[in-house]
């Protein structure tokens, strides 16, 4: 029997600030479409169940439009049960209309049986009843793995030796897996489509085959979210900066949501015009963001002998209690001003 | 420290060049193009090496600028003394810094010394190359008498590779100007604009959140109204059912009544039937039997009539007897009389016969009657009837049979009708205990409920419409949140940038303060000392707390411009030297004048020249000039 495991869809998410209003609206629609594609895939691959391990929606209030799309799609997949475990974002979900018959909201300890497969939702992790060892047993939870049991924190030991074959987890958006006990394995499916730069890489769903006892990742991302570091050590001008960034991103798909993080050390000769560089690349990608984490290269040995105002200024800043990052920015601004240039931040 | 000697292998246009320095004043009066700048560059390079730069601009890339025109070993050596030690710096230069070589020789021991590294200039003078250049080199325009003589500005400009006195001030102004882009006292700037946008969005968000709360309430209200309407509709249904049930009840009651009457008729028929059956010992005679009985009774009646000794019978018997008697009498008489008695005998016989016949007939009739009577009795007895008057009873029997047939038929009919009626009208389900109100009460209540339902429907429509409106507003929340988040991020960035700018300005001020604090006293003291040595004691000239040079003339403070050019030059030099005294804490370097006084008139120059000679007692001076009139 085929079962799909997905989680953390966060439909109707307001999305991160890297999106403009228009792009945010577009991206929300794309993520919704990814869910609709997931259902199509489930139908095509003749899955029997789709497990949604929490945070189906980003908030307890769902927009009418999203609800309509989701419910209609679920209804159309008549032969598939959608088992929905609530998460921390949608723990008090409230719908505007009656839910489809094949969408089942799991309560704590509630099980559904499909031939010899039991699928059970778990909200509280202490004193979990053991499963029947003859069955193929799937437990569903929305929590991060921790040393204790709390709301949305799960100590794996609580679920060991309960005859669980597969622990389908949500809450952590990165796809991972690990051993539960001698019998079972836990999986975080990760979310189905990246929203921000804390959700980089390929996203999608997991397909469980209870007969073959296999788990396969299926990519569903409509766009890749990529964060890339570019070392600008040795770069002396904005042209060189553009060139080096260009070289690093030449292979990246234009549909991507891309963040470039500048790292390394640069000399004070380089006056980075980040605003210009960002605009230069922004048209090329769906979203382009530029973050500067590079450090001003200061020759402290020379600085010792620099009796100029500039030298004194740098010393004063470096001896202050500002963070390294802030020191660099302050020094850069001061040096540009001393060079009679308008500081560019 | 003092320069002793230098030897240049190849350095710019100079090759195989050596020079021995005087400890005090070295006047090098050579034509333009001799290589004065090259020699200065060599001295600098010996102490500081070359700056690491990739620019091809010769003004900025001294390595390229001083590349030997004729090739060969690019470098040389420079001997100097400091304290009680004498050293030789040997440097050769390559195309790039990694090919440069440095060594320091202790001239006393002749061995390599590690007292200083290749950063010997910084280590020896405690100042970097730029500071060194700015302080030790007096070019031909470094004495600018036009600009204000603020020592702090001078200090900055001297050291900061520029002659722009306002470096610090312009830097500060730039920073403050930049900060005003973000925020001004009057409430303008990007930060205020963004905060204002954010505030509007927050209001919008507040509205949207309120709409969301209201939506929740309205949805609950709608659910409740729908539920209420559901119950109400159910009540209407029930009441209509009750009404129809009540109507049904009446009908049913009628039916029951009818049924009961059927049952009653059936019962009656049954009773009658049973009565008749009992009466006849369940042997109800059929029509054949009745006919038989009737026949029998008829016969019996006849026979009974016949058995009656009626007048006729009496008369017949009388006459029969009479005849007999007559006949007999006659017989007897005849007999006695021995007359023919046959006739009389015949008559008596006839009479006897008639009498006997009559008797026989009568008896036979009676026997027949009795037999028939017995039969009839038996028959009637079989039927359970005992009576004296069978014929009358027969009527009764006939009547009973007729009635029996009738009631049997009726019974069957009533029974079947009642049964069918019972089943067809489903009287089994009829609950007799339904409380029935009066029809009017029920109709009144129905009307009431329909009204309520109508009102609820209207309310539902209204609330649904409100819910839809609120949905439109509430569903905007996502967009608003996204905008709020974006603006918050931007605002954070702007505030950070603003703080960076302000911090830069503050630290710049701090640096300047440090400068002032660090150098003020020394500069003041040194300035007075140097000025004194240049122009003698002068209480007219002083420095205020801002390092501005002022003149006291007849008790009033006047601008430095009121001084003569010679005095002004002296003040300038005194100031430069006081800076040098202050900045070069460890080891005072030589001073290089490169055609510095070309602009002065002869008298002024003469004055300065004297001063230079005085200064050279303490400080080694290299004086370059291309003009004979400007030599010492």
Of the pLDDT bands very low, low, confident and very high (cuts 50, 70, 90), residue B565 is low
Helices (H), B475-564: 477-535
Cβ of B6 under 8 Å from any chain A Cβ?
Answer: no
DSSP state letters, A292-342 = E--EE---HHHHHH--SHHHHHHHHHHTSS--HHHHHHHHHHHHHHHTT--
| HSE-up of residue B337 (Cα within 13 Å, Cβ side) | 11
Q: How far apart are CA B106 and CA B79, in angstroms?
A: 10
CA–CA separation, B626 vs B33, rounded Å?
Answer: 9
Local confidence band at A332 (pLDDT 50, 70, 90 cut-offs):
confident
Question: Best-predicted range by mean pLDDT among A123-132, B341-350, B619-628?
Answer: A123-132
- Residue B158: the pLDDT is 52
Residue count of chain A, please give it: 345
- To which H or E segment does residue B9 belong? strand B2-11
Tell me what the mean pLDDT of segment A213-220 comes to: 95
pLDDT score of A184: 94
Q: Look over chain B and give the mean of its residue pLDDT values, rounded to a whole number.
A: 81
- Least confident span in A111-115, A333-337, B615-619: B615-619
How many Cα atoms are found within 13 Å in the side-chain-facing hemisphere of B222?
A: 18
Q: How far is A169 from chain B (nearest CA, A)?
A: 27
Give the best residue of A10, A63, A96, A334 to mutate against chain B (max B CB count within 10 A): A334
Label residue B151 by pLDDT band (50, 70, 90): very low
State how beta strands B75-82 and B85-92 pair: antiparallel
Please report the pLDDT score of residue A268 as a whole number.
76
Q: Which of A70-79, B40-49, B616-625 has the lowest mean pLDDT?
A: B616-625
Contact A305 B479 (CB under 8 A): no
Give the nearest chain A residue to B170 (CA atoms): A340
Strands (E), B267-377: none
Beta carbons of A334 and B508 less than 8 Å apart: yes
**Closest Cα partner for B149 from B523, B609, B619?**
B523
Distance CA B151, CA B523 (A): 9
Q: Report CA torsion sign: A140, A144, A146, A151.
A: negative
Distance CA B543, CA B563 (A): 15
Confidence of residue A240 (pLDDT cuts 50, 70, 90): very high
Residue percentage of chain A with pLDDT more than 70? 100
**CB of B489 within 8 Å of any CB in chain A?**
yes
Angle at B570 (CA atoms; ends B515, B32), nearest 5 degrees: 100
- Best to test chain A binding among B471, B482, B583 (most A CBs inside 10 Å): B482
Query: Å from A16 to nearest chain B CA?
Result: 7
Do A144 and A118 touch, CB atoms closer than 8 A? no
Contact A1, A164 (CB under 8 A): no
Q: For residue B216, give Cα distances in angstroms to A61, A95, B209, B213, B465.
A: 9, 10, 11, 5, 14
Model ipTM?
0.80
What mean pLDDT is predicted for residues B336-342?
74
Helices and strands counted in chain B (H then E): 15, 13
Which range, B19-28, B57-66, B235-244, is most confident? Answer: B19-28
Q: What's the confidence (pLDDT) of residue B566?
A: 67
A341/B500 Cβ within 8 A: no
> For B126-135, B286-295, B412-421, B452-461, which range has the lowest pLDDT when averaged over its residues?
B126-135
Burial of B190 from C-beta contacts in 10 A (0-12 / 13-18 / 19+): middle
Q: What is the pLDDT of residue B93?
A: 93
Q: Rounded to an integer, what distance in angstroms lies between the CA atom of residue A88 and that of residue A33?
A: 23
Q: How many residues does chain B have?
A: 632
| DSSP reduced 3-state for A101 | coil
What is the pLDDT, as a whole number, of residue B437?
57
Mean predicted confidence (pLDDT) in B237-244 = 85
Work out the mean pLDDT of chain A and round it to a whole number: 92
Q: Are residues B134 and B159 in contact, defined by beta-carbon separation less than 8 angstroms? A: yes
How far separated are the first and last CA of chain B, in Å rounded? Answer: 23
Estimate to the nearest angstrom the gap between the alpha carbon of A308 and the chain centroid.
49
For residue A276, what pLDDT is reported? 92
Q: Higher-confidence residue: B595 or B489?
A: B489
pLDDT value at position B435? 52
Strands (E), chain A: 2-6, 49-53, 81-85, 103-105, 111-114, 117-121, 136-142, 144-145, 153-154, 166-170, 176-179, 185-188, 204-209, 214-219, 225-231, 257-263, 265-266, 287-292, 295-296
User: CA-CA distances (angstroms) from residue B76 to B46, B111, B317?
Assistant: 8, 18, 212
Q: Taking residues B42-62, report their average pLDDT.
A: 84
Read off the pTM.
0.63
CA B215 to each of CA A63, B203, B376, B461: distance values in angstroms, whole numbers, following the listed order = 12, 18, 104, 15
Interface residue B127 vs chain A (CB under 8 A): yes
Segment A73-95, tens digit of pLDDT: 999 999 999 999 999 999 999 89
Location of structure tokens 């030997």: B68
Q: How far apart are the first and last CA of chain A?
A: 57
Contact A312 B131 (CB under 8 A): no
> Mean pLDDT lowest for which of A202-211, B489-498, B552-561?
B552-561
CA-based nearest residue to B387, from B399, B377, B395, B375: B377
Average pLDDT over residues A57-68: 92
Chain B CB contacts of A20 below 8 Å: 486
β-pair type (A214-219, A204-209)? antiparallel
What pLDDT, on the 0 to 100 scale, is given for residue B265? 82
> What are the residues whose beta carbons fall under 8 Å from the beta carbon of B518, sequence distance 6 or more?
none
pLDDT > 90: percent of chain B: 25
Alpha-carbon distances, residue B87 vs A114, B49, B76, B112, B625 (angstroms): 94, 16, 14, 9, 28
Nearest Cα neighbor of B243 from B383, B77, B390, B441 is: B441
Exposed (0-12), middle (13-18) or buried (19+): which is A219, by Cβ within 10 Å?
Answer: exposed
Cα of A329 to nearest chain B Cα, Å: 7
For residues A170, A172, A176, A180, the Cα torsion angle rounded to the nearest 10 degrees is: -60
CB contacts under 8 A, B 137-196 vs A, are 155-156, 159-161, 164, 167-168, 170-172, 174-175, 177-178
| Confidence at residue B164, expressed as pLDDT on a 0 to 100 scale | 38
pLDDT band at A225 (very low <50, low <70, confident <90, very high): very high
What whole-number distance in Å separates Cα of residue B213 and Cα of residue B474? Answer: 9
- CA dihedral A33→A35→A36→A39, nearest 10 degrees, is 160
How far is residue B512's CA from residue B168's CA, in Å, rounded to a whole number? 8
Strand pairing class (A81-85; A49-53): parallel
The pLDDT of residue B497 is above 60: yes
- Interface contacts (A, B; CB < 8 Å): 151
Q: Is the pLDDT of residue B157 over 80?
A: no
Candidates A295, A294, A287, A296; CA nearest to A227 is A287
Cα torsion B578, B579, B585, B589: sign: negative
3-state secondary structure of B591: strand
Separation CA A34–CA B270 (nearest Å):
85
What residues of chain B lie within 8 A of the CB of A326, using their CB?
500, 503
How many angstroms separate the CA atoms of A167 and A182, rounded? 13
* Between residues B317 and A136, the one the model is more confident about: A136
Which residues, in sequence order, are CB contacts of B569 under 8 Å at separation 6+?
A: B143, B145, B597, B600, B604, B607, B608
User: Is B475 in contact with A301 (Cβ distance < 8 A)?
Assistant: no
Q: Which residues numbered 52-91 in B keep a CB inside 8 Å of some CB on A? A: 54
Contact B1, B586 (CB under 8 A): no
Distance in Å, alpha carbon of A120 to nearest chain B alpha carbon: 31
What Å distances lie between residue B475 and A71, B211, B478, B584, CA to CA? Answer: 17, 9, 7, 71
Question: In the structure, what pLDDT confidence band is assigned to residue B149 with cuts at 50, 70 and 90?
Answer: very low
Collect all residues of chain B within an 8 Å Cβ-Cβ radius of residue A14.
477-479, 481-482, 485
Residue B147 has pLDDT above 50, yes or no: no
Nearest-10 Cα torsion for B38, B39, B45, B50? 0
**A103-105 and A295-296 as β-strands: parallel, antiparallel, unpaired?**
unpaired
Is the pLDDT at B554 greater than 80? The verdict is no
Lowest mean pLDDT among A18-32, A106-120, B112-126, B335-349: B335-349
């Amino acid at each position: 029997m085929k079962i799909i495991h997905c989680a953390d869809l966060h439909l109707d998410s307001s999305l991160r600030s890297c999106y403009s209003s228009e792009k945010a609206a577009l991206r929300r629609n794309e993520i919704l479409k990814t869910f609709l594609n997931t259902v199509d895939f489930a139908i095509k691959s003749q899955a029997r169940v789709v497990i949604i391990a929490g945070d189906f929606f980003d908030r307890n209030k769902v927009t009418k439009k999203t609800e309509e799309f989701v419910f209609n799609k679920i209804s159309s997949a008549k032969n598939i049960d959608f088992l929905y475990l609530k998460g921390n974002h949608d723990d008090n979900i409230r719908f505007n209309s009656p839910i489809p018959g094949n969408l089942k909201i799991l309560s704590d300890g509630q099980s559904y049986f499909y031939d010899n497969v039991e699928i059970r939702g778990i909200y509280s992790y202490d004193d979990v009843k053991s499963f029947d060892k003859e069955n193929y047993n799937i437990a569903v939870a929305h929590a991060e793995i921790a040393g204790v049991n709390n709301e949305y924190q799960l100590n794996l030991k609580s679920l060991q030796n309960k005859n669980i074959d597969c622990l389908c987890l949500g809450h952590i958006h990165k796809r991972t897996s690990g051993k539960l006990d001698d019998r079972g394995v836990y999986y975080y499916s990760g979310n189905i489509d990246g929203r921000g730069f804390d959700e980089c890489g390929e996203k999608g769903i997991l397909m469980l085959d209870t007969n073959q006892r296999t788990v396969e990742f299926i990519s569903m991302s409509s766009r890749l979210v990529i964060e890339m570091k570019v070392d600008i050590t040795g770069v002396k001008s904005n042209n060189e900066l553009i060139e080096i960034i260009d070289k690093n991103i030449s292979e990246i798909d234009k549909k991507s949501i891309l963040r470039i993080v500048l790292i390394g050390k640069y000399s004070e000769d380089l006056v980075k015009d980040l605003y210009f560089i960002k605009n230069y690349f922004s048209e090329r990608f769906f979203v382009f963001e530029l973050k500067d984490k590079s450090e001003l290269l200061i020759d402290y040995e020379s600085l010792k002998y620099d009796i100029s105002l500039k030298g004194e200024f740098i010393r004063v800043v470096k001896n202050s209690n500002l963070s390294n990052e802030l020191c660099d920015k302050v020094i850069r601004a001061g040096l540009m001003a001393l060079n009679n240039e308008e500081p560019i931040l | 420290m003092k320069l002793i000697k230098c030897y240049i292998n190849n350095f710019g246009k100079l090759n195989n060049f050596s020079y021995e320095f005087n400890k005090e004043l070295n006047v090098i009066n050579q034509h333009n193009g001799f290589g004065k700048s090259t020699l200065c560059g060599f001295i600098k390079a010996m102490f500081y090496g070359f700056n690491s730069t990739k620019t091809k601009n010769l003004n900025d890339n001294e390595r390229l600028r001083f590349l030997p025109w004729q090739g060969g070993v690019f470098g040389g050596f420079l001997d100097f003394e400091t304290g009680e030690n004498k050293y030789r710096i040997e440097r050769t230069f390559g195309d790039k810094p990694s090919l440069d070589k440095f060594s320091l020789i202790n001239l006393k021991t002749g061995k390599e010394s590690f007292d200083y590294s290749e950063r010997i200039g910084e280590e020896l003078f405690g100042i970097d190359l730029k500071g060194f250049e700015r302080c030790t080199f007096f070019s031909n325009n470094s004495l600018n008498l036009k600009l204000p003589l603020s020592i702090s500005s001078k200090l900055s400009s001297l050291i900061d590779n520029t002659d722009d006195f306002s470096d610090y001030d312009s830097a500060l102004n730039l920073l403050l100007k930049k900060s005003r882009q973000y925020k001004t006292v009057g409430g303008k700037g990007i930060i205020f604009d963004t905060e204002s946008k954010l505030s509007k969005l927050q209001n919008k968000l507040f509205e949207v959140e309120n709409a969301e709360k209201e939506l929740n309430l309205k949805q609950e209200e709608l659910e409740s109204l729908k539920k209420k309407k559901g119950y109400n509709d159910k009540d209407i249904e029930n009441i209509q059912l009750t009404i129809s049930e009540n109507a049904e009840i009446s009908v049913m009651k009628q039916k029951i009544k009818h049924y009961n009457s059927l049952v009653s008729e059936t019962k009656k028929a049954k009773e009658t039937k049973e009565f008749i059956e009992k009466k006849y010992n369940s042997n109800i005679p059929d029509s054949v039997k009745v006919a038989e009985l009737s026949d029998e009774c008829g016969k019996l009646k006849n026979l009974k009539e016949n058995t009656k000794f009626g007048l006729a019978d009496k008369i017949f018997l009388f006459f029969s007897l009479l005849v007999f008697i007559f006949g007999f009498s006659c017989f007897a008489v005849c007999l006695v009389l021995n007359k023919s008695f046959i006739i009389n005998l015949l008559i008596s016989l006839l009479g006897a016969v008639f009498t006997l016949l009559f008797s026989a007939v009568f008896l036979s009739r009676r026997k027949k009657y009795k037999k028939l009577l017995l039969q009839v009795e038996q028959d009637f007895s079989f039927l359970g009837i005992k009576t004296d008057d069978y014929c009358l009873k027969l009527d009764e029997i006939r009547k009973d049979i007729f009635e029996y047939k009738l009631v049997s038929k009726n019974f069957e009919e009533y029974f079947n009708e009642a049964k069918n009626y019972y089943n067809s009208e489903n009287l089994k389900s009829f609950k007799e205990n339904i409380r029935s109100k009066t029809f009017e009460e029920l109709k009144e209540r129905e009307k009431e409920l329909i009204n309520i339902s109508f009102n609820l429907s209207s309310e539902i429509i209204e609330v649904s419409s409100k819910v839809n409106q609120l949905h439109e507003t509430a569903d905007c929340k996502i967009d608003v949140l996204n905008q709020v988040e974006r603006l918050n991020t931007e605002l954070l960035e702007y505030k950070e940038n603003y703080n960076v700018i302000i911090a830069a300005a503050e630290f710049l001020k701090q640096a300047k303060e440090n400068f002032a604090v660090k150098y003020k006293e020394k500069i003041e003291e040194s300035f007075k000392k140097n000025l004194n040595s240049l122009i003698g004691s002068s209480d007219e000239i002083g420095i205020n707390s801002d390092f501005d040079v002022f003149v006291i003339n007849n008790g009033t403070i006047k601008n430095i411009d009121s001084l003569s050019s010679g005095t002004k030059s002296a003040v300038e030099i005194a100031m430069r030297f006081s800076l040098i005294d202050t900045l070069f804490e460890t080891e005072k370097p030589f001073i290089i004048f490169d055609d510095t006084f070309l602009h002065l008139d002869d008298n002024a120059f003469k004055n300065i020249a004297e001063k230079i000679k005085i200064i050279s007692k303490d400080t080694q001076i290299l004086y370059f000039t291309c003009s004979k009139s400007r030599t010492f």
